[in-house]
Chains A and B, each alone.
Chain A
């Protein structure tokens, strides 16, 4: 069969919805928004597959735009493991032959998607920030590379065209309360992982920095690790979390789990407050998409100011505590 004929067998956009603690991960709603645009551009269906041990609110996936939700249930899906999930999803894709498969670039998504792509022998593009359809109906996948210095436009010659998509890159599809609820149950193809035993699952307990609405971040301007407390106080008042630039992690002053930047986490909070951060490209790659960026730095020529909405030229050791004081009073007036 020619490549073209093979390509024509494949149709529709499939979203893989991940569950976290029994609930649909929000990245699925973002994928449904973008998936709907792609499906419409191709005149095809938008469907969603979710692997879950029990009811997980799949109806919401219909309200957010899925024409059909396929729900596969097995007790073992309570414990995320790649070989089990990949075998089931691969078998499903072989049967349904979607033209496009989108997966959220969460930890599990990034670990799972390559197994599926390799099993299918198809191309996979990581961490896309934009997706569109070209004139021939092929998926154009856009992703940053080399510390966000370039944007690569990638096309896949095999089918399905698979991509993982960064969380918080696209807007969530709005729910339509009047949407048709169409959920189809699919029997699992494989019930247990092979050669892997999950021994323990423990909640991390902390809100991931990627989910924080406010991030107060410190850089080289912080002189010692104890001083991060100043940032924590402001973060507490604003209901946010503390992050750091690579400089503080390299200096052993902070854990890499709160590092923001190309080699750390990428965040997109409502408000990002950069304290004593000069604004190296490596750091900007992790926070430049924030809704509002506020910089506090004693060096007026620091590059961080040019990508900030507001800046204050001054000593963070003076300004940050003043902000904390200002907004703690602010809060008490409101109550």
Chain B
């Protein structure tokens, strides 16, 4: 089985600083890392490989330095990686990104595509399903378990869909987006970490991916445009702080709860 794991390089959101005067994220303020949700997708792929046998490759779209994430994934057990990079891809929204990914994936051998629930920076959770639609394959979101059921199909447990847990059997190829509950990514081994430094990863640009033009990828190929960025005001509330007087505090809450119909049996 050929598995492709989609990964995105994102800034460490715990450390990243934000330039509120310019309305931009200062990407130099924090180290880049694999999107934490995608780490779980890689873990799921590595587990499937151990259980059923598979070739696991990671694929990322980003600037040339996103190769670091491919190296990291290799060090943790991926068999290879593909870097999708070109200046022409800059400014892609989710639709243009999905078109680019689908075109690139279409040129590869694949049975299963895995990705994380969402990215911590964009937070749209749209690219997985858009890519699946463009490839004409089924998908499942919010999967917390995956088992290979047999030749050509896969069984997936979905945490929550319309208020229920669902188990579905999907024909391959298919795309599965996983939640963090599927597992935490294993650590790299020293041996593979060293190997990853010299490991070659094929890199593909606009001219190497058929079906892509400057009009359907990048900023120009994006149907959504950011018109304006605004910095939300920090909403402060009239904090009424109590220190010693528990009775006064509790009485205040009692009024608030009564007004909202809370706490009465």
Chain A residues within CB distance 8 Å of chain B? 18-21, 25, 79-83, 86, 106-108, 110-115, 117-119, 121-127, 140, 142, 144-158, 193-204, 208, 213-214, 237-240, 256-257, 262-263, 270-271, 282, 288, 291-295, 300, 305-314, 319, 322-323, 326-327, 330-332, 334-335
**B residues less than 8 Å from A125 (CB atoms):** 224
Nearest to B237 among chain A residues (CB) is A309
A115, B139: Cβ atoms closer than 8 Å: yes
Is B235 part of the contact surface with A, judged by Cβ < 8 Å?
A: yes
Most A CB contacts (10 A, CB to CB) among B138, B155, B164, B231 go to B164
Q: Measured between C-beta atoms, what is the minimum distance from B94 to chain A in Å?
A: 7
Give Cα A310–Cα B18 distance, bound, in whole angstroms.
29
B interface secondary structure, majority? mixed
A196, B133: Cβ atoms closer than 8 Å: no
Q: Measured between C-beta atoms, what is the minimum distance from B8 to chain A in Å?
A: 14
Give Cα A282–Cα B246 distance, bound, in whole angstroms.
30
Specify which of B18, B142, B171, B241 is in contact with A107 (CB 8 Å cutoff).
B142
Contact residues, B1-52 vs A (CB, 8 A): 13-14, 16, 18, 20, 23, 25, 36
Most A CB contacts (10 A, CB to CB) among B93, B131, B230, B253 go to B253
**B residues less than 8 Å from A117 (CB atoms):** 95, 126, 130
A335, B265: Cβ atoms closer than 8 Å: yes
A331, B260: Cβ atoms closer than 8 Å: no
Instruction: Give 19 pairs: A residue, B residue, CB < 8 Å, sorted on A.
Output: A21-B163, A83-B138, A108-B161, A114-B126, A118-B131, A121-B95, A124-B130, A127-B123, A153-B227, A156-B224, A195-B138, A200-B167, A204-B163, A256-B179, A308-B239, A322-B246, A326-B254, A330-B264, A331-B265
Contact residues, B223-265 vs A (CB, 8 A): 223-232, 234-243, 246, 249-250, 252-254, 256-257, 260, 262-265
Q: Measured between C-beta atoms, what is the minimum distance from B92 to chain A in Å?
A: 12
The 5 closest A-B pairs by CB, nearest first: A123-B223, A195-B171, A114-B129, A126-B124, A111-B141
Report if A154-B95 is in contact (Cβ < 8 Å); known contacts: A114-B126, A306-B239, A311-B242: no
Chain B residues within CB distance 8 Å of chain A? 13-14, 16, 18, 20, 23, 25, 36, 93-95, 98, 120-134, 137-142, 155, 159-171, 174, 177, 179-181, 222-232, 234-243, 246, 249-250, 252-254, 256-257, 260, 262-265
Q: Measured between C-beta atoms, what is the minimum distance from B19 to chain A in Å?
A: 10
Specify which of B134, B231, B260 is in contact with A270 (CB 8 Å cutoff).
B260
**A residues less than 8 Å from B234 (CB atoms):** 307
Specify which of A21, A291, A332 is in contact with B260 (CB 8 Å cutoff).
A291
**A residues less than 8 Å from B25 (CB atoms):** 146, 149
Q: Measured between C-beta atoms, what is the minimum distance from B232 to chain A in Å?
A: 5
**B residues less than 8 Å from A18 (CB atoms):** 162
Give Cα A309–Cα B23 distance, bound, in whole angstroms.
29
A114, B130: Cβ atoms closer than 8 Å: yes
A107, B141: Cβ atoms closer than 8 Å: yes
Give Cα A331–Cα B250 distance, bound, in whole angstroms.
14
A111, B252: Cβ atoms closer than 8 Å: no
**B residues less than 8 Å from A309 (CB atoms):** 237-240, 256
**B residues less than 8 Å from A20 (CB atoms):** 162-163
Give Cα A300–Cα B130 distance, bound, in whole angstroms.
47
Q: Measured between C-beta atoms, what is the minimum distance from B148 to chain A in Å?
A: 15
Q: Measured between C-beta atoms, what is the minimum distance from B183 to chain A in Å?
A: 12
Give Cα A81–Cα B133 distance, bound, in whole angstroms.
13
A150, B169: Cβ atoms closer than 8 Å: no
